[in-house]
Structure 1
């Protein structure tokens, strides 16, 4: 599936062409409903099911109203003051979800008779002004900045997840204690020991393929019950659309199979779930621009790539919040784990947050900070923005880190907590200039809301530690 290359505010346009295939399937009785969905601040899909004829006759052309709080709420769907969108003050009014026909999926193998399309929120009125704090809009702004330089971004995301035997309902009722992992031990690259999770992961692989995602690889990972499916890279917006579609569908398939899976960055003391982001640049004609076989330093990196990587290092402390947005994100980014803690780069060095990998036309960066909870639109937007900052300021790239960077005291540290990342983000001149005050304030409020919820919660750790002995 391709993605939009313009503003993505498709209300009021002629929809005969983009929806011809859907129209034919509806006429044949193969599609009865269309889900219109918008990615929220957490990267989850929120939306409504519409009858297919209603979608084609009305919504495809004019959009569909949805409450503004969908882009101003936390995981529990609580909202309040402090966001750029104040749902209470505005009386919980609507914005308009403008379907992006380029994201249409006419086949959802796990939801028979249903199609799905992603939408961009716009404010009511003839101008169809985009909602600036919407995740897709934030990424689109950075991709437009690249386009002004004659560049496009290709991206791929590598999502890991844990599979547990037993349903989501039983996991909830046990308060997620005593769950049975889908494998008994570390199955990293293993070709055995996967029998209990193979039925569900096989179904996920096959049904994602039927829905239009092109799988590259799949394998077991380090934590018991951990698995990774990697899909083919694509234009950056399309990759992020695929990412949120995959997470949503994988959970539904798991529920239908009577098992539960989680993408949370750190479920327990074992290995966390990462979401490594691969990113490369091309000219608008498709020409690779990051590689230079004649580079005097022998790295094969062009001058543009050196600036691009240097920008990642310069901006990472201020933009970490967009890649690690939750309290749990930082439980994964701890010393002693196989996740980055410092700010450095290396050639094929997995202990660095920025790993330069590949050669020639496949030369790219692998950003290893995001975890399974990352909103892909925001994480990719941050990486693109950082790279552009390095290019615009012609930043010099330091020497690569060739040793183990995990826990290396000589390497500058990433923000170690959500609170630290929040302070860097909301006081950052770089973030304000790149994203604007409204976006900075909006996502700062999202982080504050997350912190306040955590700081008022009493955890199991506190009960075990203090119930009898304090």
Structure 2
């Protein structure tokens, strides 16, 4: 990954759509449908599709949507106990306010444009627990100090043969990956996989989300996609559109993707964030060969190591998320940092003006907005509070003898530090912490009451 990104202009085939250009395409009936989407708690797009000419007449007003889209579990089950909305107030509406800078064409859907929206109360104020708003607040905090974060995202997911309906009907058993072997860094993919990757790359380019690179990964059927560094909100918007595109394009190819952190025993998929700070268009992490780390880089690393342990439910939101954290899996098991060291949670990567921090904690199931909000909040904490910086890990962080703080083993283990500790509440607000604590407890309770295949395998004949 490189820093900074290459420019993308509206003149290119994959450039953003201006309001005027959108109007022209609608008038020509080249765009007949406009999707308005709000990222939900899981990072998925929720919203409505509109007849394009009608939507242009209400572009400024946006649309009303039931506020429960920010108060459900992954199955869209309404959850009581949230302060934002619930049965106690009849699940009223929120206002989805279009962010016109996100307007783009989705060529993988017929004659369709997408606009992302921010969730607002009826009085016009942003809803603070909405993922985009949580990230925007942390970007603003760093801007108040004169820092601009640049972010690149590295996504992993697995791709299986068969439709989602078929896989669900089979109880998620006998999963068949699109490639049966380890194809890490391979350039000779099976034809079906080559066709899928070609369609995905083309669709993302046309959607103003051009990739930096695509490669196959170590697990059978595993794919990695990276994007150039750039604006943090745009990076998360791009990733969200990528997930939407992956699912739609895979369905066309009779395939099904999963973004689970640990979809099978021994297999994990990550969501890595490459972050640097800039000031006055200059990279603040720039490091000459043999020189000491710049102060702000040291402070950023220290802040990440000090604060991220108390924010785990934001980047590891499900019980399954924690099954990815296993030794020698390339997922971290403790909060360490090191120079170009992929066994650490924080990897100092790149050289000179490309120096950056790779935060390797989040799994593929993480909400990008919440994860990056936690990362930037931790960096802000490091700059303003300046906790001590531990020594770097020079070898195998899985076997280190320095006894660093361990990554929580379960979501249940992670929750007390998030809910009761001061850092998350200070970085966000009591309301935000309450909202995401309630979400996590719902997931924990759901798993506590389910009888699993492992329960039966270990106990059916032996209890």
Residues 65, 94 of structure 2: 8 Å contact kept: yes
Residues 287, 351 of structure 2: 8 Å contact kept: no
Question: Following TM superposition, by how much is the alpha carbon of 1:336 offset from its aligned partner in structure 2, in angstroms?
Answer: 4.2
Write the distance in 1 (CA, Å) between the matches of 2:358 and 2:209. Answer: 21
Question: Following TM superposition, by how much is the alpha carbon of 1:300 offset from its aligned partner in structure 2, in angstroms?
Answer: 5.0
Question: Following TM superposition, by how much is the alpha carbon of 1:461 offset from its aligned partner in structure 2, in angstroms?
Answer: 1.2
1:19 maps to 19
1:311 maps to 303
**TM-score, L = length of structure 2:** 0.94
CA deviations over 1:112-139 (Å, ceiling 9, x no partner): 11100000011113xx011010000000
Question: Following TM superposition, by how much is the alpha carbon of 1:364 offset from its aligned partner in structure 2, in angstroms?
Answer: 0.8
1:287 aligned onto 2:282: yes
CA deviations over 1:175-233 (Å, ceiling 9, x no partner): 11002111111111122353342111221112111211121111110101111111222
1:35 aligned onto 2:18: no
How large is the Cα RMSD of the aligned pairs? 1.5
1:277 maps to 273
Residues 166, 259 of structure 1: 8 Å contact kept: yes
Moved more, 61-70 or 329-338: 329-338
Write the distance in 2 (CA, Å) between the matches of 1:89 and 1:261. Answer: 37
Write the distance in 1 (CA, Å) between the matches of 2:379 and 2:429. Answer: 17
2:245 maps to 249
Write the distance in 1 (CA, Å) between the matches of 2:189 and 2:130. Answer: 42
Residues 236, 369 of structure 2: 8 Å contact kept: yes
1:240 aligned onto 2:236: yes
Question: Following TM superposition, by how much is the alpha carbon of 1:334 offset from its aligned partner in structure 2, in angstroms?
Answer: 2.1
Q: Equivalences for 1:196-215 in 2 at 5 Å?
A: 196-215=192-211
Write the distance in 2 (CA, Å) between the matches of 1:467 and 1:94. Answer: 48
2:13 maps to none
CA deviations over 1:95-151 (Å, ceiling 9, x no partner): 10000001111x2111011100000011113xx011010000000000000111111
2:329 maps to 337
1:64 maps to 63
Structure 1 segments of 4+ aligned residues over 3 angstroms from their partners: 193-196
Write the distance in 2 (CA, Å) between the matches of 1:247 and 1:109. Answer: 15
Count of equivalent residues: 447
1:152 aligned onto 2:148: yes
Write the distance in 1 (CA, Å) between the matches of 2:56 and 2:461. Answer: 63
Residues 213, 242 of structure 1: 8 Å contact kept: yes
Write the distance in 2 (CA, Å) between the matches of 1:29 and 1:193. Answer: 38
2:129 maps to 133
Q: Equivalences for 1:341-380 in 2 at 5 Å?
A: 341-380=333-372
The 1:168/1:407 distance shift into structure 2, 3 A limit, reads farther
1:227 maps to 223
Question: Following TM superposition, by how much is the alpha carbon of 1:81 offset from its aligned partner in structure 2, in angstroms?
Answer: 2.7
3-state SS of paired residue (1:450): helix
Write the distance in 1 (CA, Å) between the matches of 2:287 and 2:328. Answer: 36
2:316 maps to 324
2:52 maps to 52
Question: Following TM superposition, by how much is the alpha carbon of 1:407 offset from its aligned partner in structure 2, in angstroms?
Answer: 4.5
2:381 counterpart (346, 366, 389): 389
1:113 counterpart (108, 111, 114): 111
1:267 counterpart (263, 267, 277): 263
1:5 maps to none
Write the distance in 1 (CA, Å) between the matches of 2:314 and 2:110. Answer: 35
3-state SS of paired residue (1:319): helix
CA deviations over 1:49-77 (Å, ceiling 9, x no partner): 0111121101x111200001100111011
1:194 aligned onto 2:187: no
Write the distance in 2 (CA, Å) between the matches of 1:168 and 1:65. Answer: 30
CA deviations over 1:412-445 (Å, ceiling 9, x no partner): 2011110111111001101111111000000000
1:400 counterpart (392, 396, 416): 392
Moved more, 333-342 or 439-448: 333-342
3-state SS of paired residue (1:366): strand
Write the distance in 1 (CA, Å) between the matches of 2:375 and 2:399. Answer: 23
The 1:119/1:398 distance shift into structure 2, 3 A limit, reads same
Unaligned regions of 5+ residues in structure 1, if any? 3-16
Write the distance in 1 (CA, Å) between the matches of 2:415 and 2:194. Answer: 40
2:419 maps to 426
Write the distance in 2 (CA, Å) between the matches of 1:299 and 1:366. Answer: 20
